[in-house]
Each structure stands twice: as structure tokens, then as C-alpha cells.
Amino acid sequence: MNITLIAHDRKKDEIVNFAVAYEHVFEKHKLYATGTTGARIMEQTSLQVHRFLSGPLGGDQQIGALVAQDEMDLIIFLRDPLMAQPHEPDIIALLRLCDVHGIPVATNVATAELLVRALDRGDFAWRELVHKYKPGAAEA
């Protein structure tokens, strides 16, 4: 599964702690993150994370492109609801793309925990079918 981890500045400690707590789940999947979030996660865990640009510099849009191509399976985006973000239109566009393409997304740690526990149980195995039957996918 392709999983993206994103966190606004005041939520970075929270997502790092979350990655540490669920490292045993995340190590089985391919991880992506925006710049600083990915660096901090790699510093505190043994996880390998493909890093995009930081959110304000286009990282959210880079991830949105993967969502639009159905290359992303799950997004954990710990947003700071009390702080205005200069790239808010990019954030809204990313969340809208997740809704359009049916990509599970968590914007707080409570929902993130539910999604990761479901991931660990295998509840997202249906995403493998999405990839298998995607136009242009190789026949099994």
C-alpha cells in the first residue's frame, strides 16, 4: 500500500509519535511525506520515506497528482485547524481529490488510529484490486 503522512507545523511532533507507535505497521508499506514531516519521521524511526516538497512549496500538489492517478491508497494528514495556512487552496484541493477518488484520509490522530488499525487487519486489501484492474495494469 502507498501511504502518505503529512502534518502541519504544530502537528509534526504528533505525527512523529504516531509513526513511532505504528512503525511495525508502516514498515510493511511504501511511505510518502511532505519534506520536513518525512525527514522528522526518518530521524525518529527506521522507516524509509519518499519525500516530496514541503506543502507550501507544492508537496500537497505532488501528492494530489498521485491521488488523481490512483497511485495513493491512504493519507494521514494531521491538520492544524486553529492556524491559517498560506497554501489552504492546495490543502482543500488534495482533500477534494481524496473524496473524488475514494481515498481514505484522516485529518486527526483519532481517525488516523482507526485507519491504521484497519490497515493492520487487512481491511484495505480491496485497494489491491483497484491497482490490479486499473487501465494499463498488467494481466495477472
* Catalytic machinery residues: 60
* Chain position carrying cell 486553529: 82
Would you call 6 helix, strand, or coil by DSSP?
strand
Would you call 76 helix, strand, or coil by DSSP?
strand
What is the sign, positive or negative, of the torsion defined by CA atoms of 67, 23, 6, 59? negative
The neighbour count for residue 4, using CB atoms within 10 Å, is 30
